[in-house]
Structure 1
Amino acid sequence: MGTIKRLNHIFRADGKTIITAFDHGVNSGPMAGIADLGAALKQVIDAGTDAVILNIGMARRHEALLGRTGLIVRADFPCTDYARGSHDSILCVAVEEAVKVGADAVLFNGGPDISGEDIGLERCMISIISRLRRECEQYGMPLIAEMVPGGFNPPAEYINLDSLKLAARVAAEAGADMLKMPYRSGPDGRTYEEVVNGCEGLPIVVLGGAKTNSQEQFFANIDDALKCGAKGVAIGRNIWGHAHPDRVISLLNGLIHEGEDLGQAMKHLD
């Protein structure tokens, strides 16, 4: 009991969501855009984000700001940016702790070892998802799997339709309730719909990734993912790293909730 009710704090009645991710400080420190996290949170919440992702310390610190906004707490932490080449993370937050800060879901990062050289990455992922699933079932807490082939911050070439399909299905088989996934299109007319259709109906939200140099292509990719069946987005730097985060939220609201075409939605940035 409780899982569906909590998911309804993340998804609107249309079954879709705009999630703003603010969990970058644990590995990258006080980046521009989130150095004053309270101000950044207030701006996107006022603009209409449906949910936010926070690390547990910041969820405690900024409880008063969250109000009715959905709260997703990250349960695992990666290494810092100084640890180059590390693609795993470790479980640091118990589900009970997330319950105490009013979380509507817990999130962890996992991914199959696409390189074939890091079996420890897969063992770490299976350990985390298994433990979290058992704890989540105890508390009626939704489990969100951020499934990135190659693990945390992998080489770009590890991410393709086939690796994404595998990653998504692993999470579905292991008991996740929702997926946060990269977007990729494929050659020969293949589409992201293969990923959506391969995970037994679990809702997928598309992650934002690195700060984009091409706004047009970034939002075109989101538009295509939505047309292929994705249920929304979970974006960090491409929201709070933008000169006008509120306008990005308006654009996403147009695409995701209001049914605007890409051209209409892009006008919100003007």
Structure 2
Amino acid sequence: MASKTHRLNHIFREDKKTFIMAMDHGSVFNVLPAMKRIGDIVSDVARAGADAFLANVGLVEKFADDFHGKGIILRLDGAFTFLGSKDKTVETVANVEDAIGLGADSVIGMGFPGSKWEDKVLKNLAANISECNKWGIPMTAEMLPRGFEGGEDSRTAQNITFACRLGAEMGADIIKTEYTGDTESFRELCESVFVPVVILGGSKKVSEEQLLTEIKEALEAGASGIAMGRNIWGHEEPARYAGAIAKLIHEDCSVEAALKELSKKF
């Protein structure tokens, strides 16, 4: 059985950075029509420079060839959608053995400290971390203070930092979280969390320049990469956007150079 180190090396390149393309939104949100031809998007983005994909069971199983051997991080939780009531939280819907059977390199689960469901969500996360340790598969924890139902004031830089440190303390091997908004506070976060931290993109559609700038700032402050989806697969040219982002992460190019790469005509 592969070790955690071997699996992590299939997610992170030799520079210890990673570009994780998040494609797991379809189990919760309406991703149509942008993600209608999901196999094409996965294949094109894999070829353009993504290192790994965050995906649900159905995608990993049905589109295996389209990932072109890139790393796979399987989403373990779900069981609620945008159509349902707002008084439920995430439940574990897949397990670590499922992930191994599908050839995944890591699994991911949510952590919502401060949420009214804090005890339930964190117990699920702890149980999944324990299973990961038994099977030698890395656990990615998506750590967000107070979760989806929290007020805006709950996602302060201090609270985000605490949430990420909590995930590491619980035994997660990779932390996915929000960018705190400035390099000083995010550097403090990265220095306070002893496992790799990758930033998410969030639900808000932002300009290419803003997204690339946030990625660049986070990397300079100590981030180990990104785990983003909607802003990329929702773009009119996902592969070209992914290629520009890959250069930003792995070639340490400027935001201006990445934008120029994005605007090239082929």
Name the amino acid aligned to 1:225.
A
Partner of 2:215: 222
CA-atom RMSD in angstroms: 1.8
Deviation at 1:156, TM superposition (A): 3.8
Of residues 117, 125, 131, the one that matches 1:135 is 131
Structure 1 contact 54–72 (Cα < 8 Å) conserved: yes
Residue 147 (structure 1) shift: 0.5
Contact persistence 2:111–2:143 (CA under 8 A): yes
User: Whole-Å Cα distance in 1 between the matches of residues 144 and 248 of structure 2?
Assistant: 24
Deviations 1:77-115 (Å, cap 9, x if unpaired)?
15201235457210111100100000000001112116x
Please say if residues 143 and 178 of structure 1, whose CA atoms lie closer than 8 Å, have aligned partners that are also in contact: yes
The whole-number CA distance in structure 1 between the counterparts of 2:114 and 2:251 is 38
Identity of aligned residues (%): 34
How far residue 62 of structure 1 moved from its aligned partner, in angstroms, is 1.0
Q: Which residue in 1 is equivalent to 2:235?
A: 242
Q: Per the alignment, in what secondary structure is the counterpart of residue 219 of structure 1?
A: helix
Structure 2 residue corresponding to 1:150, chosen from 146, 151, 162: 146
Cα pair 1:87 1:152 within 8 Å, conserved: no
User: What is the match of residue 192 of structure 1?
Assistant: 186
Q: Choose from 173, 179, 182 the match for 1:183.
A: 179
Query: Residues 164 and 87 (structure 1 numbering): CA distance in 2 closer, same or farther, change over 3 Å?
Result: farther
Q: Deviations over 1:25-83 (max 9, x none)?
A: 10114423212211111111121210001101221111122232000100001520123
> CA shift at 1:22, angstroms?
0.6
Unaligned runs of 5+ in 2: none
Partner of 1:164: 160
The amino acid of 2:174's aligned partner reads M
Aligned to 2:35: 34
Report what 1:99 is aligned to.
Answer: 100
Distance 2:181 2:93 in 1: 34
- Normalized against structure 1, the TM-score is what? 0.91
Change (3 A) 1:205 1:16: same
Q: TM-score, normalised by structure 2?
A: 0.93
For residue 213 of structure 1, what is the aligned residue in structure 2?
206
8 Å CA contact retained: 2:208, 2:259:
no
- Whether contact under 8 Å (2:109, 2:141) holds in the other structure is yes
Q: Which amino acid aligns with 2:246?
A: N
* Residues in 1 aligned to 2:185 and 2:258: alpha-carbon distance in whole angstroms: 22
Between the aligned partners of 2:41 and 2:261, the Cα distance in structure 1 is 19
Quote the Cα distance in structure 2 between the aligned partners of 1:97 and 1:49: 23
* AA matched with 1:166: F
Say if 1:182 and 1:206, in contact at 8 Å, map to a contact too. Answer: yes
Match of 1:256 in 2: 249
**Runs of 4+ off more than 6 Å:** none
